[in-house]
A and B are shown apart, each in its own frame.
Chain A
Amino acid sequence: MNFQAHEDLHQFQSAIDHLAARYRQAWRATGSRFEHAPQLEAQLQEGGFFSALTEATLGPVAAAFMVQTLAQLPVCAEVAASALLGPLACPEDPGAIAVIDGPLQRPARFLPTARTVLHMTPHSVSVASLQSDQVEVIDSLFAYPMGRLRTDATLQWHALAPDTATRLSGLWQVAVAAELVGCLQAALQSVLDHVKQRQQFGRPIGSFQAVQHRLAQASCAIEAAHWLTLKAADSGRAIDAATALGYAQQESGRISYDLHQFMGAMGLTLEHPLHRWTYRIKLLSSELGGGSRQLQQAATLAWPQARAA
């Protein structure tokens, strides 16, 4: 066991932190529910960051770390699919990647700017190139650019080999879990900053035990989700990926509720970035069927029926 970053991973983390710093400091209230940063995607592509998954000294742990760190930004970027799926699913310059999980006509994040689309079902993964005129841009509550395939769009789907599809399913669970953890971490930090400053009854609201206990519980769950995600990235085991995503998804609802309670009416405005993470968390909590589905999968992997016979 070793929870510390090796030198290569440490350097990779530093490079990502450096890149993220520019966007972290750039928060401004735009009056928009989300702000997409395609320039960040381009920088990651040009910098070769999306090849981390298949680099011997980095691998899925580094890719998951990148997704998590960049999810902490108030702007959103298509990182998860490019980092965890791209190198295996479509290694030839795929551009931004969107993932449709379930029926093809479902709305999916980043579809309006994606140049590659992956269609994921429980037993298969197919990939197709995409033109912008094949996508209908749609409004949504979620803090991502959302779209759906036009009903008249004709895509050339290529089914991936079953073993690749299985591997990609696990990696997508890791990717979504990492993005969810990053959003939860940033949302918690923004609320911690607020409750240390905001005074009511003559003292910071963060000094009240009722507030402290719920934030402490949130921190326990987020920290556990963080390590479960890295464990899943490291092990490559299906059961670990399902557990990590399922745990993060199940915990998200309670945490989001508490964070908004403590942000008060300020959290209802578009002036504070909390809503950016909240409405990403909500979408990510529903990915791949949601937390119950992942944890059911983990249980069937942990206790296959044959064992009882």
Chain B
Amino acid sequence: MDAAEKHGLSLNWTPQDRALRERVRSFLAQHLPADWDAIARHGPGSREQTEFSMRFCPELAQAGLLVPHWPEAYGGVSSSPWEQLILGEEMWAAGEPRGPQYMNVNWIGPTLMRFGSEAQKQMHLPAIAQGKVVWCQGFSEPSAGSDLAALRTQAMADGDRYIVNGSKVWTSYAGLADYCFLLARTGSGKAGISILLVPMDTPGIVVRPIPSLIGMGDIHEVFFQDVVVPQSCQLGEQGQAWSIITYALNNERVGIARYAYSLRVLTQMVEQLQREGRFDDPIVQTRAGQARAACEAARMLVYRVVDLRSRQALPSGEASQARVAVIAADHAVADFATEFLPDTLCGQEFAIHLAHHERAIAAGIASGAAEIQLNLVAHQYLQLPREARL
């Protein structure tokens, strides 16, 4: 009798789950290069890690570890959301060597499967499943960040094509991306936004990197000037973008097991303190325990969302709760570093540790601000009334 039968509720892994985890660890041990820490130092969104992902992800695909959660028809084996999570935890614990491709496999691919035309599926899904393509997400604009529906980039219909004009900003991976998952305005209001799958080598697209605290080549501005996009590149119906991205982001918010990254970095820091003979201090122990508890809290809330998904329930407020907790874990670990190991933020010795610290400042901003997540928790989970709009 296993634990699930005994108590009706089991928060432990099955032997099959543990075997998968070991398989992923073994793969990483064999395939991450000796200089992986130096590459990972630049962070999961960096140009260096994006370039690395283009070598690494095809190997991952060959081993059946890139898109195992996809249906057989698209190169997967329909593995469970729990198996997808295990893969994500191990990748994040290693510093996320999939780089931008976690986004492809977690939500761009599944969104194309659900809403794409047959031609779009045939064109894009094999490349994603083989780890051979980089996508960027053309959402934010200079005047449309948290208020995404305020976006202005125009896609003017012109026969069987669109002419796109406008600009995007804070776009990760754009410097090396093959395609952009672009939100553009084809009418007014939320119902006037459409999705275009745009090749990044289309004439009229200019990408400019933005020097930033999270590394050169991580975020970009993308300008569109009279960019011609065939109507066949439209995903779903015209004006359907809002419902499609709601679906897409519910997948995206489940996919990031970044607490595993935070926990690995915290463990590295504690081991350093132990080597220096400083971990005997009860204050240090307590603060390490606090940071670890924040990571474990995030883990449980992510697991709860995965559990909902495994029963085909659509998480809403729960996914936002999980994101809030993941952000808190990022900051708890980063704050531990500044309190007890500030010297390791100098030099390059603690590579992944530096990358984690740099990313923590972006944790509550990227992929939807933490405050937007709190709004969603308040409305969707606590059923609090909406604030009056001006």
Nearest chain B CB to A223's CB is how many angstroms away? 6
Whether A24 sits at the interface, judged by CB under 8 Å, is no
> A305 contacts which of B279, B306, B375 (Cβ < 8 Å)?
B279
Q: How far is the CB of B120 from chain A (nearest CB, A)?
A: 34
14 A-B pairs in the complex with CB atoms less than 8 angstroms apart: A5-B9, A6-B8, A8-B8, A56-B6, A57-B8, A192-B384, A195-B384, A207-B385, A223-B304, A228-B293, A234-B9, A235-B12, A242-B289, A308-B279
Q: Are B7 and A307 interface neighbours, CB within 8 A? A: no
* Set of chain B residues within 8 Å of A225, measured between Cβ atoms: 297
- Complex contacts, A172 vs chain B, CB 8 Å: none
Do the beta carbons of A2 and B290 come within 8 Å of each other? no
Interchain nearest-CB distance for B254 vs A (Å): 14
B374 within 8 A of A: yes
Question: Is the CB–CB distance between A246 and B6 below 8 Å?
Answer: no
Nearest-CB residue, chain A, relative to B318: A223
Docked Cα-Cα span, A250 to B5, in Å, equals 33
A87 within 8 A of B: no
Bound Cα distance A308, B378 (Å)? 44
Q: How far is the CB of A224 from chain B (nearest CB, A)?
A: 4
- Once bound together, how far apart are the Cα atoms of A71 and B376, in whole Å? 28
Within 125-157 of A, Cβ neighbours of B (below 8 Å) are at none
Verify if A9 is at the interface (C-beta below 8 Å from B).
yes
Interface of B is mostly: helix
> Which single member of B14, B270, B387 contacts A303 (CB below 8 Å)?
B270
- Please give 6 more A-B residue pairs, beta carbons under 8 A apart, in addition to A220-B321, A246-B290, A250-B290: A6-B4, A61-B9, A209-B375, A212-B374, A292-B286, A296-B285
Count residues of B near A (Cβ-Cβ below 8 Å).
59
A1 with B82, Cβ < 8 A, contacts A61-B7, A217-B374, A297-B289 known: yes
Whether a CB of chain A sits under 8 angstroms from the CB of B27 is no
Residues of B near A215 (CB, < 8 A) are 378, 382, 384
* Residue among B275, B290, B381 with max Cβ neighbours from chain A (10 Å): B290
Interface size range on A against B: 35 or more
* Chain B residue at minimal CB-CB distance from A225: B297
Q: 1/0 per residue A1-37: CB within 8 Å of B?
A: 1111111111000000000000000000000000000
B388 proximity list for chain A (CB < 8 A): 203, 207
Per the bound structure, the CA–CA distance linking A9 and B9 in Å amounts to 8
Please state if A295 and B289 are interface contacts (CB–CB under 8 Å). yes
What is the bound-complex CA distance between A105 and B353, given in angstroms?
48
Is A59 part of the contact surface with B, judged by Cβ < 8 Å?
A: yes
Beta-carbon contact of B7 and A58 below 8 Å:
yes
A247 touches B296 (CB 8 A): yes
Could you tell me the distance in whole angstroms from the C-beta of A214 to the nearest C-beta in chain B? 9
A-B residue pairs, 5 tightest by C-beta: A6-B8, A295-B289, A308-B274, A9-B8, A224-B297
Tell me the bound Cα distance from A303 to B271 in angstroms. Answer: 8
Flag if A221 contacts B10 (CB, 8 Å): no
Given contacts A206-B384, A217-B324, A223-B321, contact A308 B7 (CB under 8 A): no
Q: Which of B3, B382, B383, B388 has the most CB of A within 10 A?
A: B382
Known: A231-B11, A243-B292. A305 touches B274 (CB 8 A): yes
User: Are the CB atoms of B7 and A295 closer together than 8 Å?
Assistant: no
The docked-state distance in angstroms from the alpha carbon of A213 to that of B320 is: 12
| Known pairs A219-B321, A219-B382; A228 contacts B296 (CB<8 A) | yes
Bound-state CA distance A59–B4 (Å) is 12
User: A217-B324, A295-B286, A303-B279 given as contacts; is B8 within 8 A of A10 (CB)?
Assistant: yes
A257 in contact (CB, < 8 A): no
Q: Does A302 sit within 8 A of B, measured CB to CB?
A: yes
Contacts of A60 in B (CB 8 A): 7
Of A10, A206, A243, A299, which one neighbours B285 at CB under 8 angstroms? A299
List residues 266-309 of chain A with CB under 8 A from any CB of chain B.
Answer: 292, 294-300, 302-303, 305, 307-308
Q: Does residue B307 face the partner (Cβ distance < 8 Å to A)?
A: yes
Quick check: A2 and B293 within 8 Å, CB to CB?
Answer: no
- Report the separation of the CA atoms of residues A303 and B280 in the bound assembly, to the nearest whole angstrom: 11
Residue of A nearest to B284 (CB): A299
Q: Is A265 an interface residue (CB 8 A)?
A: no
Complex CA gap A280/B270 in Å reads 35
- CB nearest to A9 among chain B residues: B8
> In the complex the two chains form, what is the Cα distance from A2 to B311 in whole Å?
10
For residue A62, CB closer than 8 A to chain B, the reply is: yes
Please state if B271 and A308 are interface contacts (CB–CB under 8 Å): yes
Question: In whole angstroms, how far apart are the Cα atoms of A209 and B82 in the complex?
Answer: 34
Closest CB-CB distance, B14 to chain A, in whole Å? 8
Q: In this assembly, does B56 line the interface, its C-beta being within 8 Å of a C-beta of chain A?
A: no
CB contact list, B1-28 vs A, under 8 A: 1, 3-14, 17
- What separation, in Å, do the CA atoms of A219 and B380 have in the docked complex? 12
Known: A220-B321, A298-B292. A6 touches B7 (CB 8 A): yes
B371 within 8 A of A: yes
> Given A192-B384, A209-B387, are A1 and B270 also a contact pair (CB < 8 Å)?
no
Instruction: Contact check, B6 vs A212: say whether CB atoms are below 8 A apart.
Output: no
Q: A212 contacts which of B3, B4, B325, B384 (Cβ < 8 Å)?
A: B384
Whether A196 contacts B385 in the complex (CB less than 8 A), given A6-B9, A57-B6, A305-B279, comes out as yes
Name A298's contact: one of B289, B371, B383 (CB within 8 Å).
B289
Contact with A along B247-283 (1 / 0, CB 8 A): 0000000000000000000010011001100011010
* Inter-chain contact B324/A216, CB cutoff 8 Å: yes
Q: Chain A residues with Cβ under 8 A from B6's Cβ? A: 56-57, 59
B45 to chain A, nearest CB (A): 25
* B292 in contact with A308 (CB, 8 Å): no
B11 A1 Cβ-Cβ under 8 A: yes
Q: Indicate the member of A2, A203, A242 with the most B CB atoms within 10 Å.
A: A2
